[in-house]
Amino acid sequence: MNIGIVCYPTYGGSGVVATELGMALAEEGHMVHFITSHQPVKLNFLNKNLHFHEVFVENYPLFHYQPYNLALSSKLVESVQKYDIEVLHVHYAIPHAYAAYMAKQMLKEKGIHIPIVTTLHGTDITLVGSHPVYKPAVEFSINHSDVVTTVSESLKSDTVRLFDIKKDIEVIYNFIDFEKHANWSQGDCIRESLADPHERIITHVSNLRPVKRVLDVIRVFEKVQQKVPSKLILVGEGPDKEKADLLAKELGVKDKILFLGKSDEIRRIMCFSDLFLLPSETESFGLAALEAMAGKTPVISTNQGGLPEVNIQGVTGFLSDVGDVEDMAKNAIYILENDKRLKEFKENAFEAAHRFSMEKILPKYEAMYNRVIEKGVKESVN
Ligand code: GMT
């Protein structure tokens, strides 16, 4: 197949999923075209089937806001024609689904049918998308996509609850490539340089936005380290970093926390992690939790959104109400204080992560593309 992918090329979860998906499809022999504002950060071109087409926005003094939607729609029209793209898969509804709809209408005028697949990732529905400023356009573009997928059952329910949806939504879970994880064997871990042998290592990885509740990470850690000697590794950049730093100083735990900034080596970090904290306000899926589990790391998370579909209570970790730092700390101590118990949780996390292996999820995307392309061909013949 010849597939066009549109996504945010940043470190955000939706961009990571889209990039990993495109690279996996290219490995399977499909031709994949990324049509994005910058080269996706995780995209490596070691496969001849991968292509990148940059969307340029022409600036003009009259523009208060740059019209990225228009530039993207035009680039989609150009790319579909030039590279015979058979399906456009857009990740994150805003503004990608809307721009794709416009491209589809322009191509229709030229006698070209291009099916649009929209994958909803989370905040495009739960936070930004349902805001009255965007809602009518988001609802319209979801309803006019040929196929709509969500990354969890929970996000599907949220979409149906928050919007007037007139079509079926298919759930295709996020996935993990275990082959890549296996490349970071325990032997590659540099644990000694981060913690003393008797200390546990706790991690948190996110873009440190308010929705991630990074201050709860610090509060939980402060309580845990009183009972179990430990270090906290905080990976990511974002608006709440300074607040987290200040709180760590205030609680007297700053010297036990390592702020790592953005990192491409999540898998390497996970291989020496004993526990992952994800106290988010909401999380449609929680890819970071899955990455942790694939690195044999149990998860302490909230019970919001799709997290219960990933993290299994009492098996791969524990889930608490948002803001209940007492409960999160209690559960973290329970896992960390006993070697045998920690080992069991680690094994369980690793095993449960296999529900989301690339081998299980990729064929679902391929089957869906095939269906939508065939349907389009039939419709244009009739
Ligand atoms: O919240 C983020 O970290 C970024 C955001 C995005 O869309 O880039 O992540 C969302 O999509 C991820 C991939 O599908 C999910 O794993 C995250 O749970 C989801 N974030 C939220 O729902 C808050």
- Residue 371's CATH number: 3.40.50.2000
Do residues 246 and 377 both lie within one domain?
Answer: no
Do residues 75 and 123 both lie within one domain?
Answer: yes
CA of 277 to the centre of ligand 1 (A): 16
As for how many domains the chain has, the answer is 2
Question: Among 283, 291, 356, which residue has the most ligand 1 atoms within 8 Å of its CB, making it the best to mutate?
Answer: 283
Positions of the chain with pLDDT lower than 50, given as ranges: none
Task: Note the pLDDT of residue 195.
Answer: 86
In Å, what is the CA distance from 375 to each residue of 86, 142, 181, 303?
12, 18, 37, 39
Question: Among 11, 41, 287, 302, which residue has the most ligand 1 atoms within 8 Å of its CB, making it the best to mutate?
Answer: 287
User: What digits encode the pLDDT tens for the residues 334-366?
Assistant: 999 999 999 999 999 999 999 999 999 999 999
- C-beta neighbour count of 306 within 10 angstroms: 27
DSSP state of 6: E
User: Domain span at residue 123?
Assistant: 2-175+358-381
**219, 247 contact by CB (below 8 A):** yes
Do residues 167 and 219 both lie within one domain?
Answer: no
Task: Note the pLDDT of residue 184.
Answer: 53
Task: Note the pLDDT of residue 7.
Answer: 97
CA of 124 to the centre of ligand 1 (A): 9
Do residues 52 and 112 both lie within one domain?
Answer: yes
Do residues 221 and 235 both lie within one domain?
Answer: yes
Strands 299-302 and 317-320, by their bridges, are: parallel
Cβ neighbourhood burial of 64 (10 Å; 0-12, 13-18, 19+): exposed
Which atom belonging to ligand 1 lies closest to the Cα atom of 281?
23
Q: Strand, coil or helix: what is 54?
A: strand
User: What digits encode the pLDDT tens for the residues 51-84?
Assistant: 999 999 988 899 999 999 999 999 999 999 999 9
Nearest CA to ligand 1 atom 21: 283
Do residues 209 and 152 both lie within one domain?
Answer: no
Beta strands in the chain (DSSP E): 2-6, 31-36, 50-54, 87-91, 116-120, 147-150, 169-171, 200-205, 230-235, 257-261, 275-278, 299-302, 317-320
Question: Among 89, 96, 121, which residue has the most ligand 1 atoms within 8 Å of its CB, making it the best to mutate?
Answer: 121
Spell out which residues line ligand 1, taking CB within 6 angstroms: 12-15, 17, 92, 121-123, 151, 174, 206-207, 211, 282-287, 305
CA of 141 to the centre of ligand 1 (A): 20
Cα separation of 150 and 165, whole Å?
A: 13
Do residues 202 and 166 both lie within one domain?
Answer: no
Which atom belonging to ligand 1 lies closest to the Cα atom of 92?
7
Task: Note the pLDDT of residue 325.
Answer: 98
Task: Note the pLDDT of residue 381.
Answer: 61
Task: Note the pLDDT of residue 308.
Answer: 98
Do residues 228 and 129 both lie within one domain?
Answer: no
Do residues 150 and 49 both lie within one domain?
Answer: yes
Do residues 68 and 168 both lie within one domain?
Answer: yes
DSSP state of 313: B
How would DSSP label each residue in 218-267? HHHHHHHHHHS-EEEEEE---TTHHHHHHHHHHTT-GGGEEEEES-S-HH
CA of 43 to the centre of ligand 1 (A): 18
CA of 186 to the centre of ligand 1 (A): 28
CA of 161 to the centre of ligand 1 (A): 19
Q: Which residues pair with 171 in a beta bridge?
A: 150
Q: Strand, coil or helix: what is 68?
A: helix
Do residues 348 and 210 both lie within one domain?
Answer: yes
Strands 87-91 and 50-54, by their bridges, are: unpaired
Which atom belonging to ligand 1 lies closest to the Cα atom of 305?
22
Determine the distance from the C-alpha atom of residue 303 to the mean position of all C-alpha atoms in its chain, rounded to a whole number. Answer: 18
Cβ-based neighbours of 200, under 8 Å, separated by 6 or more: 228, 229, 230, 231, 274, 275, 336, 342
Do residues 27 and 167 both lie within one domain?
Answer: yes
CA of 283 to the centre of ligand 1 (A): 6
**286, 307 contact by CB (below 8 A):** yes
Nearest CA to ligand 1 atom 5: 13
Whether a cis peptide bond, with omega within 30° of 0, leads into 239 is no
Residue 336's closest CA among 222, 196, 229? 229
CA of 82 to the centre of ligand 1 (A): 32
Residues composing the chain? 382
Cβ-based neighbours of 114, under 8 Å, separated by 6 or more: 80, 85, 86, 87, 88, 103, 104, 107, 376
Task: Note the pLDDT of residue 187.
Answer: 53
